[in-house]
Chain A
Amino acid sequence: MSTAHTHDHHADAHDHHGPEKGWRRWVFATNHKDIGTMYLLFSLLMFFIGGSMAMVIRAELFKPGLQLVDPGFFNSMTTMHALVMIFGAVMPAFVGLANWMIPLQVGAPDMALPRMNNFSFWILPFAFTMLLSTLFVPGGAPAGGWTMYPPLVLQNGTSFPMMIFAVHLMGASSIMGAINVIVTIMNMRAPGMALLKMPLFTWSWLITAYLLIAVMPVLAGAVTMLLTDHYFGTSFFQAAGGGDPVMFQHIFWFFGHPEVYIMILPAFGIVSEIIPTFSRKPLFGYDAMVYATASIAFLSFIVWAHHMFTVGMPLAGQMFFMLATMLIAVPTGVKVFNWTATMFKGSISFEPPMLFALSFLFLFTIGGFSGLMLAMVPADFQYHDTYFVVAHFHYVLVPGAVFGIMAAVYYWLPKWTGHMYDIKLATWHFWLSTIFVNVLFFPQHFLGLAGMPRRIPDYSTQFADWNMVSSIGAFGFGLSQLMFVYIIFAAARGGVRASDKVWDTAAPHGLEWTLSSPPPYHSFEVAPEVK
Chain B
Amino acid sequence: MATELPNRDQKRGIRRTALWLALLAFGFYAAFILLGVLKAKP
Contacts and interface: CB of A to CB of B under 8 A. Distances in A.
Contacts of B36: 221, 225, 236, 247, 251
A526 interface: yes
A481 interface: no
14 contacts: A5-B2, A8-B4, A10-B4, A112-B10, A187-B17, A214-B28, A217-B26, A218-B29, A221-B30, A225-B36, A236-B36, A236-B40, A243-B40, A525-B5
Contacts of A220: 29
A524 interface: yes
Interface string B3-42: 1111000100110011001101111111111011001111
Interface of A: 5-8, 10-11, 14, 108-109, 112-113, 175, 178-179, 182-183, 186-188, 213-218, 220-222, 224-225, 234-236, 242-244, 247, 251, 254, 524-527
Given A224-B33, A247-B39, A251-B36, A187 B10 contact: yes
Contacts of B22: 175, 179
Contacts of B25: 175, 179, 213, 216-217
A242 B3 contact: no
B5 A108 contact: yes
Given A242-B40, A247-B39, A7 B2 contact: yes
Contacts, number: 101
A179 B14 contact: no
Contacts of A251: 32, 35-36
Contacts of A235: 40
Given A14-B4, A112-B18, A525-B5, 15 more contacts: A6-B1, A7-B2, A7-B4, A109-B5, A112-B10, A179-B18, A182-B21, A187-B13, A188-B14, A213-B21, A217-B28, A217-B29, A221-B29, A234-B40, A251-B35
B2 A11 contact: yes
Given A218-B29, A251-B32, A188 B18 contact: no
A504 to B, nearest CB: 29
B interface SS class: helix
A5 B3 contact: yes
B6 A6 contact: no
B4 A11 contact: yes
Nearest to B41: A242
B39 to A, nearest CB: 6
Interface of B: 1-6, 10, 13-14, 17-18, 21-22, 24-33, 35-36, 39-42
A305 to B, nearest CB: 15
Contacts of A213: 21, 24-25, 28
In the A-B complex, the 9 residue pairs with the smallest Cβ-Cβ separation, listed nearest first, are: A217-B29, A242-B41, A8-B2, A221-B32, A217-B28, A187-B13, A5-B3, A236-B36, A179-B21
Contacts of B21: 178-179, 182-183, 213
A244 B39 contact: yes
Contacts of B3: 5-7, 11, 526-527
Contact of B17 (A183, A214, A216, A225): A183
Interface centre among B5, B13, B24 (most CB of A within 10 A): B5
A8 B30 CA distance: 46
A164 to B, nearest CB: 14
Contact of B33 (A10, A175, A221, A243): A221
B29 to A, nearest CB: 4
Given A179-B22, A183-B18, A188 B40 contact: no
Nearest to B6: A188
A6 B2 CA distance: 5
A310 B22 CA distance: 36
B2 to A, nearest CB: 4
Contacts of A527: 3, 5
A113 B33 contact: no
Name which of B24, B29, B31 has the most chain A CB atoms within 10 A of its CB: B29
Contacts of B2: 5-8, 11
A217 B35 CA distance: 13
A480 B22 CA distance: 41
B18 A215 contact: no
Nearest to A214: B28
A254 B31 CA distance: 13
A127 to B, nearest CB: 17
A18 B1 CA distance: 24
Given A242-B41, A526-B3, A113 B32 contact: no
